[in-house]
Amino acid sequence: MKKFSPYTDLALEAAEALTVNEQEQEGIELSCESSEAAEITTVKITNEEGSRKTGKPRGSYITIESPYMRENTPELHEEIKKTLAKSLAQLCPLKENDSVLVVGLGNRYVTPDSLGPKVISGILVTRHIKENLPGELKDSVRPVAAVTPGVMGLTGIESAEIIKGIAERIRPSAIIAIDALAARKATRINTTLQLADTGVTPGAGVGNTRGALNRETMGVPVIAIGVPTVVDAATLVNDSLNSIIGSMREASKSGSEFYKMLEDLSAEEKYSLISECLDPYTENMFVTPKEVDSVVESLADIISGGINMALHEGINSENVNKVI
């Protein structure tokens, strides 16, 4: 019988599934800090065993969690942008004139998957105008290009192929790829940002894996930025089932046969129940909150703002219009 193992794009959730002792043994390092608006957790996977246990490539993952991401709180959004900019600079240190290619992955016509293309709309692109800017601004920006490759179903071309061709032509110093993710916990939907220096595999979260974007395939560092916008239905059913079992345990007398049956219910048996409930859609049904339209717009603004802050240190809300 197939073992129930909910998929997650978040390295933090993969690490949380292990005990503290397992994390230490498998070369997984966690460190946490907090700010006024967010909780920041850094996960470092340092060896192959840690990579195998978590299902994530070796590297560093920074997770920014804040319930304010899906709320209309401009002041706190600014703080999250600053945290994102700081984390991005930490994962991808750049020299003064290094150029960057920003890539928005996803399908602009499917709202939960439109995060990448919407972020690109807010990126300050300067590769074509840097040399023509006034003296006081010319030294404040770096060459930045941006592209939305679309999805293979619309273009007939893998995103990795398009991006590799562009990268070979313009030779950026680094690539930043934005994509929607899938989470294990419903509470992390639209409230969590993950940055990783390991690149990204488009479509992995919804079982539609395409060519990877990473240093090996692109020839330059690839920083992935993503927000989980969906959770698979099997995970929701599993969590609901656990909650029901927990409530029934409390209502049962310890030692009773019914209590023992609940205690002995295995992950495989729960998975069998889930499969029967969702069949034939167990493997490809994903759920997103009803307010996803407005939330994705807000998330795109946060991410594009944080990227702009990190890449153009001399640009702020007061002088950005001089460049645009």
pLDDT of residue 143: 93
DSSP codes of every residue in 231-271: EEHHHHHHHHHHHHHHHHHHHSPTT-HHHHHHHT--HHHHH
Q: Mean pLDDT of all residues in the chain?
A: 84
If DSSP codes are grouped into helix, strand and coil, which group holds residue 294? helix
The reply to whether omega before 93 is within 30° of 0 (cis) is no
d(CA 302, CA 122) in angstroms, rounded, equals: 9
Question: Contact, 116 vs 181, CB < 8 A?
Answer: no
Task: List the beta strands (DSSP E) in the chain.
Answer: 28-34, 39-45, 59-65, 100-104, 144-147, 174-182, 192-196, 222-232, 286-287
What is the end-to-end Cα distance of the chain in Å, rounded?
58
Residue with tokens 């998330």: 299
Burial 185-211 (b: 16+ CB within 10 A, else e): beebbbbbbbbbbbbbbbbbbbeeebb
d(CA 168, CA 31) in angstroms, rounded, equals: 37
The tens digit of pLDDT for each residue in 294-309 reads 899 999 999 999 999 9
| pLDDT exceeds 60 at position 312 | yes
d(CA 105, CA 200) in angstroms, rounded, equals: 10
55: left (phi over 0), alpha (psi -120 to 50) or beta: left
pLDDT of residue 129: 83
Q: Are strands 100-104 and 174-182 parallel, antiparallel or unpaired?
A: parallel
| pLDDT exceeds 80 at position 7 | no
In angstroms, the Cα distances linking 296 to 61, 117, 169, 282 are: 22, 11, 31, 26
In angstroms, the Cα distances linking 179 to 186, 245, 265, 294, 300 are: 18, 35, 37, 17, 11
**Three-class DSSP labels, 132-174:** HCCHHHHCCCCCEEEECCCCHHHHCCCHHHHHHHHHHHHCCCE
The token pair that represents 207 in the structure block: 């079982």
Residue 286 sits at φ, ψ, to 5 deg, of -125, 150
Domains of the chain plus CATH, in order, are: 11-235+282-323 (3.40.50.1450)
Question: Contact, 212 vs 161, CB < 8 A?
Answer: no
Name beta bridge partners: 28: 45
Confidence of residue 88 (pLDDT cuts 50, 70, 90): very high
Residue with tokens 């339209």: 293
Confidence of residue 222 (pLDDT cuts 50, 70, 90): very high
The tens digit of pLDDT for each residue in 145-186 reads 999 998 887 888 889 999 999 999 999 999 999 999 988 888
Confidence of residue 279 (pLDDT cuts 50, 70, 90): low
Residue 212 sits at φ, ψ, to 5 deg, of -75, 150
The tens digit of pLDDT for each residue in 182-199 reads 888 888 999 999 999 999
The token pair that represents 163 in the structure block: 């991006």
| pLDDT exceeds 90 at position 260 | no
Question: Contact, 159 vs 211, CB < 8 A?
Answer: yes
